[in-house]
Amino acid sequence: MKNKLLGLLGVDKLIENIQHLIEVRVNIIKNEVQDKVAEGMAKVLPLIFLLLSLSIFLIFASITVAFYLSDLFESLVYGFGAVALLYLIITVIFFLLKDSERLIDKFKSEIKKRS
């Protein structure tokens, strides 16, 4: 009796339509998320490859400079030590600058310009 009454009022079709609408909405949201992830990956992957290539270049350039300095100083220890000292100095400078408000503000403003 209850099912007949619901059938006459069309509630069962209304429920089916609502379920279908929810499924469509979920699929739309899923597709939007997939598109956003794909877009993000398309932007990030070239940067990762760029950083990897740059790192490899930096390693080989450092080894080359170290051998060159070793030849000048006539000592492998002094040549490679000079390059290591250079990297230590750069690291200390970055460590001291990491809390610089002016530098942080400059990075924030540059990021806002680009986005």
Give the span between the Cα atoms of 92 and 38, in whole angstroms: 38
For the chain, helix, strand, coil in percent to 5 are 95, 0, 5
Q: In this structure, what DSSP letter does residue 113 have? A: H
Question: Do the beta carbons of residue 70 and residue 80 sit within 8 Å?
Answer: yes
- Give the residues of the chain that fall short of pLDDT 70: 1-11, 115
Question: Do the beta carbons of residue 111 and residue 105 sit within 8 Å?
Answer: no
pTM of the predicted protein model: 0.60
**The two three-digit tokens of residue 59, written as one number:** 């390693």
pLDDT digits (tens, 9 = 90+) for 22-36: 999 999 999 999 999
